[in-house]
Structure 1
């Protein structure tokens, strides 16, 4: 088992750009409405921060890839909201989330650009705010400027706790077995949470 984990760790180190690309996809999906609430992004980013501290991943590569993913995800949600407009709240897919969408719209109207920055840390409300910005017709340049600036700020702040913990806790050493076990554990956690949170099919009415 140790040999397998060490081989897997070596694979991660040798293909760190692929790992960064996977992180980018995760941050993109986390920014999308409905999909985003299924992803325990903090667990993923804490692990990425720890891997940066131990030298397994390069900080600049992780920050750039994750920032691009987060910004693209928000941009997609914004464009969806702009295309759908107010009709979005009546869409069957969003039927169970009308209150959340209404809160996101109110939040966006009240706080504007600040809402985009703060919403990145607001859990379930987070993926709906960019869509609400599109629904409320926030100017394109305003949204994209705020999105471009706030994405890397968010990435750095959510990577920091894992990085600092790995730097200052003695048992966090660049040990191949430990690092790979953490990666595998987080991936299993992500898959498990996604399955648990997956909405159950409604029984069809006769």
Structure 2
């Protein structure tokens, strides 16, 4: 299977595909850009694609997708608080109001967090310059994280990029699960403190 995919992996068009996938994932979070980037990180253990070009494409796509979400948030305003993403949007708004731009950095690593925090940043009119800076930092951190997970899997399962990709995704899923558990525990502690104080 790798023999059939290798011509695309060695092609400069690959970086455009990564850019487009990561961009679209920023405002339509159904495109599996994380899977694509982790998979390509795993395959890079055999030499292609070029890691720096892959990072650049992922970062550029991250920034572009965040910008689209920000602009959509600015236009959508109150309508974001209804529908499928209402819960994620409410969490994002709360985090933005409490933690400011740090929420953008953390949101990039949470399921639907990237879209929700970017849209909410637009909705609450976070200054564009500030948003752009934190979007760039978040995109850089995410690109290194996702490619690093894939590369770790690729190095661990040398010669089997599919197993390497699965390994990288499993580690990413485990880390996301740990973060979700920690978040729930912290929320429970906060609720107990509020009940005790109240």
Which of the five TM-score ranges fits, normalised by the shorter chain?
A: 0.7 to 0.9
- 1:50 matched to 2:46? The reply is no
Distance in 2, Cα, partners of 1:159 & 1:95: 33
Distance in 2, Cα, partners of 1:99 & 1:165: 33
2:140 is aligned to: 152
When normalised by structure 1's length, the TM-score is 0.72
Distance in 1, Cα, partners of 2:150 & 2:96: 30
2:77 is aligned to: 85
| Number of positions where the alignment pairs a residue of Structure 1 with one of Structure 2 | 165
Cα deviation, 1:51-84, whole Å, max 9, x if unaligned, reads: 2221120001100011101110011100111123
1:74 paired residue among 66, 70, 91: 66
1:22 paired residue among 17, 23, 42: 17
Please report how far the alpha carbon of residue 145 of structure 1 lies from its aligned counterpart in structure 2 after TM superposition. 1.2
Q: Identify the structure with bigger relative contact order (alpha carbons < 8 Å, sequence gap 6+).
A: 1
Please report how far the alpha carbon of residue 96 of structure 1 lies from its aligned counterpart in structure 2 after TM superposition. 2.9
CA contact (8 A) 2:21 2:32 kept: no
Please report how far the alpha carbon of residue 13 of structure 1 lies from its aligned counterpart in structure 2 after TM superposition. 4.2
Stretches of structure 1 that go unaligned for 5 or more consecutive residues are 187-206
Stretches of structure 2 that go unaligned for 5 or more consecutive residues are 167-198
When normalised by structure 2's length, the TM-score is 0.74
1:172 is aligned to: 158
Please report how far the alpha carbon of residue 126 of structure 1 lies from its aligned counterpart in structure 2 after TM superposition. 2.8
Distance in 1, Cα, partners of 2:54 & 2:62: 12
Please report how far the alpha carbon of residue 154 of structure 1 lies from its aligned counterpart in structure 2 after TM superposition. 1.1
